[in-house]
Chains A and B, each alone.
Chain A
Amino acid sequence: MKQKKLLVTMLLAFASTAAMADITVGVTVSATGPAASLGIPEKNTFALVPTTIAGQKVNVVILDDASDTTTAVKNAKKFVTEEKVDVIIGSTISPASLAMIDVAAEAKTPMISMAASRRIVDPMDEKRQWVFKTPQNDAQMSTAISEHMSKNNVKTVAYIGFSDAYGEGWAHEFAGVAQARKINIVADERFSRSDTSVTGQVLKIISARPDAVLIGGAGTPAALPQKALKEKGYKGLIYQTHGVANADFLRVCGKDCEGTFLPAGPVLVASQLPADNPVKKTALEYVTKYEAAHGKGSVSTFGGHAWDAFKLLEAAAPVALKKAKPGTSEFRAALRDALEGVQNLPVAHGVFNMSPTDHLGFDQRARVMVKVQGGNWVLVK
């Protein structure tokens, strides 16, 4: 028994020295649990990324964190202690990503999060200098919505959102930008992902007679208030957030979603973007690759965040390779500096311009307004 153990350890030791020269990427995604509908396309995306960067082999180790903060942290620890990764990518959701910051910073390993919360990279401090993220901030998205609202003469808005971090975050962000644009929030309601009925909330909203309703939910559960509003005869504008941007939402919501507006990453309507848009080429590349592997209409914006994370790595790794060998702490530090120096990199969701204070680096090219029309996403020009 003891001998066997020894043999296994030796083999492992050999394996890890052999892998030393490769770039090792530790990915933790929420492929199961409540965030599974975001995590699964992300996981699928890592099967499509190139296997070499600048001639160096890339080892991608993917672990599932089950949408659970503790597991995500455990995964991150495993990456830095056992796998000795050069970069961590993950996690899918904000609470898990926030908790992983400490692990990444302590091990001085760069981390690229695929979660939305601004707090992952802001305020910039000693720890967060190791952390980058690819999804747009909620603030950018809510600005897009409020702009569209003022253009369409919306004066009063009712908000109904998830009773969790996502819904609260949107309520907070939107209240800020709405006030600046003198849009009145006349009702503020909550529902939970697992609710089977939102009649009470919807009746309250309708009795407040708002010009528009903003639904702060993600994925198919966000269809529930929309269907209830239509059923109870609401005629005003309905806005959703970018959290609903996948084909399943359209399938579940059906004709009740016609005419809905939402902000989204440009990848959602990649083929409709004007030809001079810098995002178009790379976004289309991603869509084509993903749909070739998983069928037409299967692509979602969430997988795009994973694609963008890898694009960042692809842009930064060659720079870092010139300074040090993968698997060393020098390489990790060089990779961090290189990530921070990424300029004008078009990806599926926008154009990255990183800086020491901005570890997201997206501008207004990272969002478009989209309308649901004939069961499809249509770019609003």
Chain B
Amino acid sequence: MDFQIALFLGQDGLTNGAIYALLALALVLVFAVTRVIFIPQGEFVAYGALTLASLQAGNVPATLWLVLALGVAVALLDGVQAMRHGSTRRLPRIILVNLAVPALLWLVLGSADLATLPLLVQILLALAIVVPLGPMIYRLAYQPIAEASVLMLLIVSVAVHVVLIGLGLLFFGAEGTRTPAFTDGMLDLGVTTLQYQTLWILASSAVLIVALYVFFGRSIYGKALRATALNRTGARLMGISTTMAGKLSFTLAALIGAFSGILISPITTLYYDSGFLIGLKGFVGAIIGGLASYPVAAAGAILVGFLEAYSSFYASAYKEVIVFTLIIPVLLWRSLTSHHSEEEE
């Protein structure tokens, strides 16, 4: 291997690693706040990318129907609950968030000539369709059993994952798509070349990570999420709604997932089911961080990216084996160093 190949591989590893890092952060966030191991995280990657692709093909994305259907379901559940508690003044808000907003999206999508819109508008529309799925799924699948054991929540996650995969095949078909790059072309650095899309990925990931850092450090909502992660009961006693915290963390996870998908879809073909494996690699990163530490999870995810790039050069047939075997020494090391207390579940 000469220097140039090493550079190329490093660049490839860093690009993939950046995406894995974003997903790892989302996984840690969701687990810390709600104790849900969010297996469907990867589906948001695929949904984001494929929704954008179908917008660019000039079609109304089928994900919109899912948002509308889930919106109706959530509005019904929340509406009935609000009526029972006699708090009718919450109704307008419930209807606005769950019914009016998706309906408005529908109107916008139905009237605009989607294929000719500027890329930025298309991306924003795709995010506007996919991101609401996060809190809606939380409301429907997880909120009713928020106090259940981690294992129970994991089983529900598996179910949600399977449902979303099936819907993905129904919505987008079996074939994959690619979207055009944000900026076409390459940057010539002399020793190596860099695609502009790679720079977009690295820069956007960095900006997102910094934004998350600021959000958790400075904003009241970020602090509320951290408080919930540290101690659910304590946070509730201080007036922080765990339901709000759960919905917010799922919104963030959906946003990160969908945006990651939109970022990578110009450099790789994405399928309705490709999100799972991408999410799983983010999960390996999150495990390295013990599903608790954000910086370690991000670093772990980038390590996964590098490992993947270099092993695909040396032993391409064993690439996945090498990447997923990494988890064994990490688990061993973690179980030896951390004091295992019997969980208070």
Contacts and interface: CB of A to CB of B under 8 A. Distances in A.
Given A190-B316, A199-B312, A204-B313, A220 B176 contact: yes
Given A196-B268, A197-B16, A203-B8, A191 B312 contact: yes
User: Taking each of B15, B169, B268, B270, which has the highest tally of chain A beta carbons within 10 Å of its own beta carbon?
Assistant: B268
B278 interface: yes
Interface string B143-176: 0000000000000000000000010010001111
Contact of B274 (A194, A199, A200, A232): A194
Given A191-B316, A252-B175, A220 B269 contact: yes
Given A197-B12, A197-B268, A199-B12, A221 B176 contact: yes
B291 to A, nearest CB: 23
Contact of B309 (A189, A199, A224, A254): A199
A201 B175 CA distance: 23
A17 interface: no
A17 B187 CA distance: 73
Interface in A161-195: 163, 189-192, 194-195
A260 interface: no
Contacts of B269: 220-221, 223-224, 252
A224 B8 contact: no
A204 B166 CA distance: 37
Nearest to B176: A220
A196 B174 contact: no
A36 B176 contact: no
Interface in A31-52: 32, 34, 36-37, 40
Contacts of B195: 231
Contacts of B166: 32
A201 B308 CA distance: 11
B332 interface: no
Contacts of A345: none
A200 B176 contact: no
Nearest to B6: A203
A32 B310 contact: no
A92 B16 CA distance: 33
Interface string B38-54: 00000000000000000
A197 B175 contact: no
A194 B268 CA distance: 10
B104 interface: no
Contacts of B314: 200
Interface residues of A, number: 34
Nearest to B270: A196
Contacts, number: 97
Contacts of B274: 194, 196
Contact of A196 (B9, B278, B317): B278
Interface string B182-198: 00000000000001000
A3 interface: no
Contact of A190 (B12, B175, B176, B317): B317
A190 B313 CA distance: 10
Contacts of B173: 37, 40
Contacts of A195: 268, 312, 319
B273 to A, nearest CB: 8
Q: How large is the interface on B (under 10, 10 to 19, 20 to 34, 35 or more residues)?
A: 35 or more
Interface string B1-37: 0000100110010011000000000000000000000
User: Taking each of B195, B310, B312, which has the highest tally of chain A beta carbons within 10 Å of its own beta carbon?
Assistant: B312
Nearest to B175: A248
A198 interface: yes
Contact of A200 (B169, B271, B277, B316): B316
B5 A36 contact: no
Contacts of B268: 195-197, 224
B264 interface: yes
Contacts of A81: none
A303 interface: no
Contacts of A220: 175-176, 269, 271
Interface string A9-41: 000000000000000000000001010110010
A207 interface: yes
Given A40-B174, A196-B16, A200-B311, 17 more contacts: A34-B273, A160-B316, A163-B317, A194-B274, A194-B276, A196-B270, A197-B15, A199-B8, A199-B12, A199-B309, A200-B9, A200-B319, A203-B8, A203-B9, A221-B176, A252-B177, A252-B269
10 contacts: A32-B166, A37-B175, A194-B277, A195-B268, A196-B270, A200-B12, A200-B313, A248-B175, A251-B177, A252-B178
Question: Which 8 pairs across A and B sit closest by C-beta, in order of nearness?
Answer: A200-B312, A200-B313, A36-B174, A248-B175, A199-B12, A37-B174, A190-B317, A196-B268
Interface of A: 32, 34, 36-37, 40, 160, 163, 189-192, 194-201, 203-204, 207, 219-221, 223-224, 231-232, 246, 248, 251-252, 254
